[in-house]
Structure 1
Amino acid sequence: MRAIGTTDLHTVRNLGILAHVDAGKTTLTERILFATGTVHKRGEVHEGTTVTDFDAQERDRGITIFAAAVSCDWAGHRVNLIDTPGHVDFSDEVERSLRVLDGAVAVFDGVAGVEPQSESVWRQADRYGVPRLAFVNKLDRAGADLDAAVASIRDRLGAVPLVVQLPIGSEDAFTGVVDLLRLRALRWDAAGGAYDTGPVPDELRAEAHRRRAELEETVAGLHPGALEEYCATSALTEATLVRALRELTLAREAVVVLCGSAYRNRGIEPLLDAVLAYLPSPADVPPVRGTAVGDPAASGGAERPADPAAPFTALAFKVTTTSTGRLTFLRVYAGTVHKGDQVLDPGTGRTERIARILRVQADRHSEAERAVAGDIVAVVGPKAARPGSTLCAPGAPVVLEAPHTAEPMVSVAVEARRSTDTGRLAGALARLAEEDPSLAVRTDPETGQTVLSGMGELHLEVAVEKVRREHGVEVSVGRPQVSYREAVATGVRGHVHRHVKQDGGAGQFAHVVIDVEPLEGGFAFASTVVGGRVPQEYARAVEAGCRDALAEGPLGGHPVTGLRVVLTDGATHSKDSSELAFRAAGRFALREALRACELRLLEPVAEVTVTAPDDCVGGVLGDLGARRGRVTGSTAGAEGGLGAGGTAQVTATVPLAELFGYASALRGRTRGRATFTARPAGRRPVPAPVAAQVLGG
């Protein structure tokens, strides 16, 4: 493997591959590595020979579970690429990857078009402002339809698709594409090797010119510079089109759409060219913003430009333990770090030494002496950094915004089968939670059981299997349970709590008066105390105490959400008041106030999309209703379009507690002819009879 050297920032692309499960992300990544000469044999998902799906569980299950980073060279540019999972249970891996990427390629199945998880990852990319290209894959499959897939991008994602290619042939006869910008044909041989460039086939010439004219008209309507040229000449030159497409992509006002078949190695090289032409380099991205630490003059925030000479600033987005040691994956936003340098983790206040810098090719690594702005590397040395931690120059401390961490939805009780392994299990679970923030480990205060929580059944299965394989601990696992929450429906006002404690030493005194109000999700705290009756530092301590009280609610010991606490009054003692006393007062005051509030139980719900034959839809609807599902939409299949062949799609929101075992039930009800996908859709109140069962059980 050839090491990738440090290059000019304009010749670097940091991008991710995003898609619904089975849309072909990993196969596309493999073909990119093959096309760029990074590997000399094409890996196959079904054979378990891919570079990025290197984990044993990924190869056994045939899906991507862990985001994997690779680098390759194309046309004098370095492409740092992250292959992300497509299954909804691992969406947190996608979230952390998107936080550090400059661009992305969204892959869509040419038959299915936009699928539920396609929408989820698209929204995640929107949240982080990541420009995208679209690649409609699997055009060699029966029923593939580029126009229908593009229509689903427009209708379901609200994007403006700009199609720059036209397929040559369809299904098994798909052999290449027409490049609408240069009006030329690209054809691949039967083995999917090198492609030949030639004139547009006669039977497609009129269609190619029509689509080129449509592309010019659409671009002119979106881009002022292109509009000026279009009004003057009624056409756009290739150079104007390329410039406009790049600027529209960077502004996220449109998405360039390409097509091909990754499995047959058709359309890969033009996609790589489009990545270089349209997606941003680190130099094209605005300076990263963070919060300056210990600098009152920078209270509005600190910026770090993508400049190797700026103070070193990097964000950790992945932590894993390998035979090489504990690897911390970094996106370097600014500055330069050398092997042996000391860096600061401002979140912990620790100074860490960078012992090694590694350029990563999935599970293989090569040594590097330094990393500069724009690089994605792994480092060995930091002991306390976790996903979301900032590492920076000790002399210029700054904290970057961490990726959003999803709230665990499903829990299982776990215990070691051998009592002698109890300590090893605790260590293994702690390491898992350190590497994956979407996993949570706690001890049930009533039963004493260890409870592992995650995003779904598959997420927890993978975590438990990792404990067995990597740590050699045999584990017994309980039945999955959903994670309920308690929320305030009706609050209370003027709740008073006096915390007075005298035990022979320094006393504790805190007097607080709080209001508790309902809030649409989450927790908020405010202080309206005037006249200095409760100093600001004590008010912050009250907030910390309130947050402590959120861990267990009075209904059933579930975490509390959906409330706003307002500190309205209080009193202090000249000697006995302290932050500790006010934190305790805040905790006890909120616990007491919650008992006086009207609370409701919330349960997680999922948006379920079922694709079933028309003659099975009635049974599917009846079953969803029996599971307390609320049908939100249904779409009949159309001949030749998405969902063709006498099928329909039914979408419903269903309580997660009712979905355990749904896959087997759906197969049985439809004789194996229906499929479904599910994605988290927030929480909703539990009906009173069901809540009574949950709380009584």
Structure 2
Amino acid sequence: MINMQMRNIGIMAHVDAGKTTVSERILFYTGKSRRIGDVDDGTTQMDWMEQEQQRGITIQSAATTCFWHDTHINLIDTPGHVDFTAEVERSLRVLDGAIAVFCAVGGVQPQSETVSRQANKYKVPRIAFINKMDRVGANYQSVLTQIAEKLHLNPLPIQLPIYENDNFAGVIDLITMQYLVFDESTQGATVIKESIPATYLTSAEEARTAMLDSLSTYSEEIINLLLEETPIPEELLISEIRKATVTRQIVPVMMGSALKNKGIQPLLDAITYFLPDPFELGSVAAKKIYKNKSEDIQVIRSESDDFIALIFKIQQDKESGALCYIRVYAGSIKAGTMVLNVGKDKKERIGKLYRMHARTPEQMNELKAGDVGVIQGFKLAQTGDTITNGAPILLESIQFPEPVISIAIEPKTIADMNKLKEVLTILQREDPTFIHKENTETGQLLISGMGELHLDVITTRARDEFKAQFNLGKPQVSYRESVESSSQATETFERPINGKETFAGLTLSVKASERGSGNKVINGLSNNVLPENYQAATIRGIEAALSSGITLGYPCLDVEVTIEDAVYNEDLAHEVAYQSLGAMLTEKIASNASPILLEPIMAVDIEVPNEYVGDVISKLTSRGGIVLGMDMNESIQIIHAQSPLTKMFGYSTELRSQSQGRASFSMKFSHYEKKLS
């Protein structure tokens, strides 16, 4: 019986690098699909949402399962647009390896850097695939340099491209020293191995020598064989590349043209050769939860232990309800089993178990450690929840960026209100970076997201998929409040609660924290001054006041509040009294500490042809933008800038007009700054 290995991998890239095309070829060559899907035709299997097919972009991460030789591959295709970076974040959180796709012409682009930082954050080993080698202007050497200089990675090219009559013909495998040709009559399904053409032999030998020299930095065995001038066995070479890849010392680099059906089978081989099996990796950090405390522990990846899994995505299905995507770290689980949602301290029954192929489910009897699968039947679960059938153990959750843009939304008729709220709740459960809330004073509904495209996609889904009827207002900015000076005050609280007299006394101080450090509540009390439960109640009140704002109702940011002193009367003490006083006193001292309004500043990257650079910079500056630097890439300039979000509404239309549709830009949140006007 063949011992089946497993790989949990994702495909990540800047928008238009061709990652969905790579995914479609992987499905075709592994036999998962019988035809090749096309992004331009809207026939891809991984981009199955109607909007994805209409817009030609990936919006939601899509999971599938395929098999290559003796390896079971769980594959997740992630979005490339910065507005949907949360999809990349939650995918990388549960993956063991990744394929980073780069355009041979565009190279390392802004979102390439973002997803690389996310992969670094979760310590994900990766392989690089330089795509679009058939394009005019393709320059793999330039891409290698950019991977090293911009991403601070160590690229190890293990292939060399071959061109015939200026057309990309195939690749030289520097490990086996063979020329790989992809038969066009079989849509590249047949890979023909030939001797290296004489005209390329010298450059191939030089490239192999450079590869071995680079690898010897991380391998004693390789360096010893090089010093002895002994031939290096192919198996040893693969083994040493694998070790250095899994430990994230190197990134093997491959190349091809997914659109032209070239280079995908060697990439599949590399996935099995160089990326880790789930059980090769170390244990997973977690917390064991007790009644009044928690303990840091490590969860061993094993099928024999208690079942532990992380819910990393929720997708609403019209027929099945909520589908919870999980990564199983330990143990196994069967349909019908009761499990504990640790964070919510609630038990729920697993309805059905699935493996997904994009949106097509394959029912399973059991999911085991290492698996990526789907649970149907949960009502309370949210993204980031831990589920288990053993002791309460909490895996590290997933951190998402806060939304920076809001739009007012209102039902077309009063009768549509409940339907609209229900739809928004479903969409918010699916997407942690989408938030809807109601202003309790005005009754106005606000939806918030990561950008104009993000909210456009969400509202289009609400209207088309869920048939909600509504009108939209103009985009609004999610401001924050802070303070510029310091203040201190002492107050008492003496009011009846539930008919009983209560008393609380506090002295609080407030001052500005360093910009970007977040809010801090410093407890300067000991249990001798105020018992622990009343201290906790005071902190809850302070945090509630900071979240509700100072003067305009926006959440506070970079504010430090210190509990300086307290007055305690054992007979009259009440937690609600200390919580209420903490909130009221925080609001008072913050109002006396020179409150200011902070606005979101966006990092803007604009790709523009040389002839339009001057006009683009001039217009951007007039919008309040500040140019931080520029990179040259062939005939394209990449402008790196910062601009207040308020100044960037409608910029995409203006940029298209300026450049005759040839320029593009991406924008992501950078930081908050004091609003000057």
Q: Of 612, 634, 659, which aligns to 1:644?
A: 634
Q: Of 97, 101, 110, which aligns to 1:107?
A: 101
Matches within 5 A, 1:35-434: 35-169=29-163, 173-190=167-184, 191-233=187-229, 236-294=232-290, 299-322=294-317, 323-393=319-389, 395-434=390-429
1:517 is the counterpart of 2:511: yes
Shift of 1:659: 1.1
Distance (whole Å) between structure 1 residues aligned to residue 326 and residue 213 of structure 2: 42
In 2 relative to 1, CA 648–366 (structure 1 residues): closer, same or farther, beyond 3 Å?
Answer: closer
1:571 is the counterpart of 2:561: no
Answer whether contact 2:511 2:593 (CA < 8 A) is retained.
no
Look up the SS of the partner of 1:45 in the other structure: coil
Q: Of 612, 624, 643, which aligns to 1:654?
A: 643
Answer whether contact 1:143 1:171 (CA < 8 A) is retained.
no
Shift of 1:563: 1.6
State the match for 1:682 in structure 2. Answer: 671
Q: Deviations over 1:334-392 (max 9, x none)?
A: 01111111100011111111111111111111111111100001011221010001101
Shift of 1:446: 5.0
Distance (whole Å) between structure 2 residues aligned to residue 589 and residue 11 of structure 1: 60
Look up the SS of the partner of 1:678 in the other structure: strand
Q: Of 558, 561, 566, which aligns to 2:557?
A: 561
State the match for 1:470 in structure 2. Answer: 465
Shift of 1:236: 4.3
Look up the SS of the partner of 2:499 in the other structure: coil
In 2 relative to 1, CA 573–184 (structure 1 residues): closer, same or farther, beyond 3 Å?
Answer: same
Distance (whole Å) between structure 1 residues aligned to residue 367 and residue 657 of structure 2: 54
Distance (whole Å) between structure 2 residues aligned to residue 529 and residue 429 of structure 1: 43
Matches within 5 A, 1:551-630: 551-630=547-626
Answer whether contact 1:304 1:310 (CA < 8 A) is retained.
no
Answer whether contact 2:42 2:54 (CA < 8 A) is retained.
yes
For residue 484 of structure 2, what is the amino acid of its counterpart?
Answer: A
Bigger drift between 222-231 and 180-189 goes to: 222-231
Distance (whole Å) between structure 1 residues aligned to residue 342 and residue 180 of structure 2: 52
Answer whether contact 1:84 1:94 (CA < 8 A) is retained.
yes
Distance (whole Å) between structure 1 residues aligned to residue 311 and residue 164 of structure 2: 44
Answer whether contact 1:290 1:302 (CA < 8 A) is retained.
yes
Distance (whole Å) between structure 2 residues aligned to residue 279 and residue 325 of structure 1: 34
5+ long unaligned stretches in structure 1:
637-642, 691-697
Distance (whole Å) between structure 2 residues aligned to residue 35 and residue 346 of structure 1: 41
Distance (whole Å) between structure 2 residues aligned to residue 375 and residue 36 of structure 1: 19
Shift of 1:445: 4.4
Distance (whole Å) between structure 2 residues aligned to residue 243 and residue 504 of structure 1: 71
In 2 relative to 1, CA 233–529 (structure 1 residues): closer, same or farther, beyond 3 Å?
Answer: same
Shift of 1:553: 2.1
Distance (whole Å) between structure 1 residues aligned to residue 13 and residue 527 of structure 2: 56
Bigger drift between 43-52 and 156-165 goes to: 43-52
Q: Deviations over 1:305-361 (max 9, x none)?
A: 111111110000111121222211100000111111110001111111111111111
Distance (whole Å) between structure 2 residues aligned to residue 508 and residue 237 of structure 1: 81
For residue 192 of structure 1, what is the amino acid of its counterpart?
Answer: G
For residue 273 of structure 2, what is the amino acid of its counterpart?
Answer: A
Q: Deviations over 1:409-468 (max 9, x none)?
A: 110000111221111001111111111111111123453210000000111111111111
1:451 is the counterpart of 2:446: yes
Shift of 1:581: 2.1
TM-score, with length taken from structure 1: 0.93
Look up the SS of the partner of 2:84 in the other structure: helix
State the match for 2:18 in structure 1. Answer: 24
Look up the SS of the partner of 2:547 in the other structure: coil
Answer whether contact 1:139 1:170 (CA < 8 A) is retained.
no
Shift of 1:616: 2.1
Q: Deviations over 1:576-606 (max 9, x none)?
A: 3232222212211211111011233222122
Look up the SS of the partner of 1:490 in the other structure: coil
Answer whether contact 1:464 1:475 (CA < 8 A) is retained.
no
Answer whether contact 2:409 2:470 (CA < 8 A) is retained.
yes
Look up the SS of the partner of 1:480 in the other structure: strand
TM-score, with length taken from structure 2: 0.96
Bigger drift between 143-152 and 673-682 goes to: 673-682
For residue 33 of structure 2, what is the amino acid of its counterpart?
Answer: V
In 2 relative to 1, CA 353–531 (structure 1 residues): closer, same or farther, beyond 3 Å?
Answer: closer
Q: Of 668, 677, 688, which aligns to 2:657?
A: 668
Distance (whole Å) between structure 1 residues aligned to residue 150 and residue 667 of structure 2: 16
Bigger drift between 443-452 and 140-149 goes to: 443-452
Look up the SS of the partner of 2:634 in the other structure: coil
In 2 relative to 1, CA 74–663 (structure 1 residues): closer, same or farther, beyond 3 Å?
Answer: same
Distance (whole Å) between structure 2 residues aligned to residue 157 and residue 148 of structure 1: 13
